[in-house]
Each structure stands twice: as C-alpha cells, then as structure tokens.
Chain A
Amino acid sequence: MVDSLADPLLRVEKLVRRFGGITATDNLSLDVMSGELHAIIGPNGAGKTTLISQLTGQLAPNSGTIHFAGRDVTRQPAYRRSRLGLARSFQITSLLPDFSAIDNVAIAAQAHDGHSFRFWGNARKEIHLRDAARSALTRVGLEARADVPVSELSHGEQRELELAVALATKPQLLLLDEPMAGLGVTESARMVALLKELRREVTIVLVEHDMEAVFALADRITVLVYGRVIACDVPDAIRNNEEVKRAYLGDQHVVVAHV
C-alpha cells in the first residue's frame, strides 16, 4: 500500500445512532489522522458524548462503521478496543471510588500488562505497575495525592486522575470528553499545558466547550450540530465559517468571534 501513511488512524463512516425519536448521531463521517489533535465542538446535546461512546464501544451504533488502525472495530466490545489502543476520559467522572488514586491508575496499567488471572501475588507490590502508575500521576500533577482515596479528591483532581488512568493504558488514540469541565482557571491552564505536551506523543480527539483551549490546541476542528458534521477544517477556517457562526448564535458566538 503506497498511501498507507495517509491512511487515517480512525475512520468513521456514515455512523447513525438514534434514541427513540432523536437522532443523536446523524450519518456522521469523520477521519482522524495519526498525530493530529482533532477537536470536536458543538452546542449542548449535539451528540459529542454519544459519538465518543460509540468510538470506544460503550454504545453500539444503529448503522455505519468505525475503523481503527485499519481494523473494523464497529462490533468490538469496549475492553477489546482498549487493548487495541483506544482510551477515553469520561465527561462525567467515572473512576473507582473505593480505590486510591494510585490504585486507579495501576489497575489500568495492569490491564495492559499480560493477563490478570493471577490469584496469589500481591498486585500492589508489582513494582513496574506501581512505577507506571506513579509516572502517569506525576504527568498530571497528582504524585503527592497518590494514596488518597478517590472519594476524597477534589473535582479538579478527579479530572486529572481521569486523564492519568487513560494515559496508563498507553493509548494510540486518546478521546477526551470535556477534560476542562468544571475546572478553575489555574487548573484549566495546567490542563492545556499538559495537552500541549501530550499531543506530541499521542493522537487526540478533544471534545471541549472551552473555545480558547480548542483554538489554541487543535490541528483541525469538527463542528457537530444535531448529530451532523456541519464543518471540519483547520481552526482559522472554522473561525470564519458562516454556518458555524450561525450555529453558535448566542453567548458562544461571541467567544468564537473573539478568539
């Protein structure tokens, strides 16, 4: 294959997902190239989370296909897609509340380090798992909070932990669903700085309402409205796209215009 370098890492074709009368994903096609940071924006209820959930396998599409790294994964369960190198963070924090921060990350590393039908040895004493977990925690700035139970972490820390968990699976493609949601100004800035670093190592799909962050980070932006792609282009082109401006009439219109 001559043009294999230009093959997208992720190819979504004609994806459809309905909830009763609502079409949350409406004949959606999308390519994510290896190495890019691809942002997905759109008003509330546009179908961004629904799309991510279909990509990672929490939700099955009604029709259409998803190819990841050249493989058809449309019918693959979530755990298998994770093994292929797809990782996500959840918009609504989804961690193991009974576990400490480091245990949350270490178990993600464990999932990608051989099998877990080991019944005897103490898993918390497997040094390479602990080290992997610790370095992921350090990455997101949580190293000092390693032994704190998740239920005692602040909201911002839990958001950071979400990211550390995803990183610990050593993904090829990282799907982040509103990682800055609910973060304060300094926490947001830290997250942006972190994403700037990460984008050099891993392909990222970023769903985010924070337009400043999106335009600062994205190589390309896809705009979703009512489950449909209304535009997909580089940030400058999106900024000047009339249809996007119309879709964003209201308070967010101002933000887009100003960036």
Chain B
Amino acid sequence: MTFPITPRNIVAALVVAGLLLLPLYSQLTGNIFILTLFTRIVIFALAASSLNLIMGYGGMMSFGHAAYLGIGGYAVGILAFEGIGSGFIQWPVALAVSALFALVIGALSLRTRGVYFIMITLAFAQMAYYIVSGMSRYGGDDGLTIYKRSNFGGLINLSNRVQFYYLCLGCLFGGLYLIWRIINSRFGLVVQGVRSNEQRMQAIGFHANRYRLVCFVIAGTICGLSGALLANNTDFVSPAVMYWTRSGDLMVMVILGGMGSLFGPVIGAIVYLVLEELLSQFTEYWAMIMGPLLLLIVLFARGGIMGLLGRLRLG
C-alpha cells in the first residue's frame, strides 16, 4: 500500500499524529478539557465513519444511524444496571444487538430507495427512540446513569482518562482499517458497484440487496461500538442519543468531511464538534452560523473538505 504525498494525505497524517499526541499536550498544559472534548470527537468520528460506509460507499442514505449509538449504549447501561459489569459481556452484547437491529431494519428498509429509504430509516430510529423512552425500569425519558464503567479486568482501566482516550482512538483506527479493507475487497467493490449502477450489477449476476444488507449490518455494528464507548464516556445513556437530530449530526459530519472518502468523516467530526464547541461559547445561536456554513459546503464543495483538499495542488 502506497500513500502518495497529496494535500489530502498530508492533512490525514497530521490529524493522526495530532490525535496520537493529544494526551501528551493535555498533560503538559494541564488542559483536561481538550482531552475530554477529543474523546467525544473520536467516538463520533467512529460513528460517522460507519455511516460513511453505507452512505458514501453504499449509497444508502440512512437517516437513523444514531439508533445504534443508543442501542450500544443501552446494552452497556442495562447490563451494568442489572449487575453485569464485565466489558467482555457488555461489549459483545452491544455489538450483537446492534447487528440484529440493523439486520431487521435493513431487511425492511432496503425494499425502498431514495427518499423513501431516508424516511423509513428515520421512522425506525424514532420508533427505537420511543421504545427506550418508555422503559421506565431503565430511567425512561430521563435516561440511565452508569455508575461503573465497563470492567475489562486488569487489561485496561476505562476510568483513567488517558487510557480511555487511547481505547477510543484504537477503536477508531481499527474501524478505519476494517473499512479500508472492506472497500477494496470483493464485497466492497460490489457494494460500490451497486451504488454506481444497480441495474448493471443485477445484469452481470449480483443479487444487489443481499450485499447492501450485509453492508448495512456491518455499519450498524461498528456504530454500536461507538455507542458502547459513548455510554462509558458520559457515564450515562438516554434516549436523546438516538433522537433524529443526532442522526442528522452524523450525516452532517460525513458530508462535511467528504462522503466516500475514508478519512473524511474523521475530519468532519473534528470540524463539526470543535465548531459547535467554539460557536456555542460565543453565542447560543450557534446553529444559525452552523446552518449556513453547511449549506455553503454542500453547495460549493462537493466531496466535502476532503473533496476540496483533493482539488488542491502542491507547489
């Protein structure tokens, strides 16, 4: 594998280095806040990357992707609440339930295309939202506090800020590597082919929806992992993480960073969440600035920030 020196790759390399060194910076300057912020960013970057797999590579505009954040989070929260604190149980359950949910939702939604697909994935996610809101044993609307983070024995201590940050970062890099392998594999080429021209793919012998569905399940499972991380990060899980606006946030991160570019959603998550943080310090109407900014990106920078960088020439 070769990485030519292009503006995109330079930016990606700098971001990777920055993310790796961030705890050091935080330690040296005593700035704990930045570590907290970036832990959150890294978790959302993983969630956005999983959405990019179906949206960018698979052409499936899912508007319900935050559902998996909630499902992964609730799997951890509910098991913790019921006295099962081991991460070796919590996390596989979080992944398995997310995969199952994706399988069911995908099998039903993938009968439709275009706007209908957007609407039906949105509807299913909202349904999941109302279901967890109604689980009074687990806090209902108010959410569920997680008193102890997932326990991985002596392997890693999730309550240690730096260790937890590196765990999240490891999950992000692992997720990106997995996605990178997938998009260059036989399976990945089929999924991208179906995005490009479904009729053609059927005509040469592919059962398009079967590949779409598997892709949908993989993405949901990866996002379930983000959910488990997020719940540990906030020591809390509530229906709000799966509300449709959260799904919208994830879509914005993907589009902002660059749909169908491996590293785009990472950039998107960083820019989106840092901007949100900065703007909300100055004004409570930060959304009024964010909205038009996004519109500009969508209108003038097809391919998002990575797309813009791709058009830059060195020298």
- Taking Cβ atoms with an 8 Å cutoff, the residues of A that contact B are 56-58, 77-80, 82-83, 87-88, 90, 94-99, 103, 107-108, 110-112, 116-124, 126, 165, 168-169
Q: Are A99 and B193 in contact (CB under 8 A)?
A: yes
Q: Are B207 and A79 in contact (CB under 8 A)?
A: yes
Task: Kindly identify which residue among B187, B201, B202 contacts A118, using a CB–CB cutoff of 8 Å.
Answer: B187
A255 to chain B, nearest CB (A): 31
Q: Are A116 and B187 in contact (CB under 8 A)?
A: yes
A77 and B202 alpha carbons, distance in the complex (Å): 8
Q: Are B185 and A119 in contact (CB under 8 A)?
A: yes
In chain B between 159 and 186, which residues have their CB closer than 8 angstroms to a CB of chain A?
181-182, 184-186
Q: Which 6 A-B pairs have the closest CB atoms?
A: A82-B205, A111-B205, A96-B196, A123-B186, A108-B204, A116-B186
B281 on the A face (CB < 8 A) = no
Closest A residue to B211 using CB positions: A116
Task: Kindly identify which residue among A79, A103, A107, A121 contacts B202, using a CB–CB cutoff of 8 Å.
Answer: A79
A57 and B202 alpha carbons, distance in the complex (Å): 9
Q: Are B185 and A78 in contact (CB under 8 A)?
A: no
Q: Are A94 and B200 in contact (CB under 8 A)?
A: yes
Q: Are B187 and A117 in contact (CB under 8 A)?
A: yes
B184 to chain A, nearest CB (A): 5
A96 and B191 alpha carbons, distance in the complex (Å): 12
A80 and B195 alpha carbons, distance in the complex (Å): 20
A126 and B192 alpha carbons, distance in the complex (Å): 18
Q: Are B181 and A107 in contact (CB under 8 A)?
A: no
In chain B between 259 and 304, which residues have their CB closer than 8 angstroms to a CB of chain A?
none
With known contacts A103-B189, A118-B186, A123-B184, A165–B199 Cβ distance under 8 A: no
Which chain A residues lie closer than 8 Å to B192 at the CB level? Answer: 98-99
Which chain A residues lie closer than 8 Å to B207 at the CB level? Answer: 77, 79-80
Closest A residue to B184 using CB positions: A122
Q: Which of B185, B192, B193, B205 has the most CB of A within 10 A?
A: B205
A contact patch SS: loop
Which chain B residues lie closer than 8 Å to A168 at the CB level? Answer: 204
Q: How many B residues are at the interface, by size bracket?
A: 20 to 34
Q: Are B196 and A110 in contact (CB under 8 A)?
A: no
Q: Are B206 and A79 in contact (CB under 8 A)?
A: yes
B5 on the A face (CB < 8 A) = no
Q: Which of A56, A80, A117 has the most CB of B within 10 A?
A: A117
A164 and B4 alpha carbons, distance in the complex (Å): 32
Q: Are A82 and B203 in contact (CB under 8 A)?
A: yes
Q: Are A97 and B197 in contact (CB under 8 A)?
A: yes
Which chain B residues lie closer than 8 Å to A118 at the CB level? Answer: 185-187
Which chain B residues lie closer than 8 Å to A56 at the CB level? Answer: 203
Q: Are B188 and A98 in contact (CB under 8 A)?
A: no
Closest B residue to A125 using CB positions: B184
B214 on the A face (CB < 8 A) = yes
Closest B residue to A165 using CB positions: B204
B190 on the A face (CB < 8 A) = yes
Additional 4 contacts, C-beta under 8 A, given A88-B203, A116-B187, A126-B186 = A82-B205, A111-B206, A118-B186, A124-B189
Q: Mark B115-144, 1 if CB is under 8 A from A, else 0.
A: 000000000000000000000000000000
A122 and B195 alpha carbons, distance in the complex (Å): 19
A96 and B199 alpha carbons, distance in the complex (Å): 10
Which chain A residues lie closer than 8 Å to B188 at the CB level? Answer: 119, 123
A79 and B182 alpha carbons, distance in the complex (Å): 23
Q: Are A96 and B197 in contact (CB under 8 A)?
A: yes
A87 and B189 alpha carbons, distance in the complex (Å): 20
Q: Which of B188, B196, B204 has the most CB of A within 10 A?
A: B204
A102 to chain B, nearest CB (A): 12
B310 to chain A, nearest CB (A): 14
B204 to chain A, nearest CB (A): 4
Task: Kindly identify which residue among B184, B186, B193, B202 contacts A96, using a CB–CB cutoff of 8 Å.
Answer: B193
Q: Are A98 and B185 in contact (CB under 8 A)?
A: no
With known contacts A110-B186, A121-B185, A124-B184, A116–B206 Cβ distance under 8 A: yes
Q: Are B200 and A96 in contact (CB under 8 A)?
A: yes
Q: Are B203 and A121 in contact (CB under 8 A)?
A: no
Q: Are B189 and A107 in contact (CB under 8 A)?
A: yes
Task: Kindly identify which residue among B196, B202, B204, B205 contacts A97, using a CB–CB cutoff of 8 Å.
Answer: B196
Q: Are A121 and B186 in contact (CB under 8 A)?
A: yes
A171 to chain B, nearest CB (A): 10
Task: Kindly identify which residue among A82, A98, A120 contacts B204, using a CB–CB cutoff of 8 Å.
Answer: A82
Q: Are A79 and B205 in contact (CB under 8 A)?
A: yes
Which chain A residues lie closer than 8 Å to B202 at the CB level? Answer: 57-58, 77-79, 82
B138 to chain A, nearest CB (A): 35
A182 to chain B, nearest CB (A): 19
Q: Are B205 and A169 in contact (CB under 8 A)?
A: yes
Q: Are A117 and B214 in contact (CB under 8 A)?
A: yes
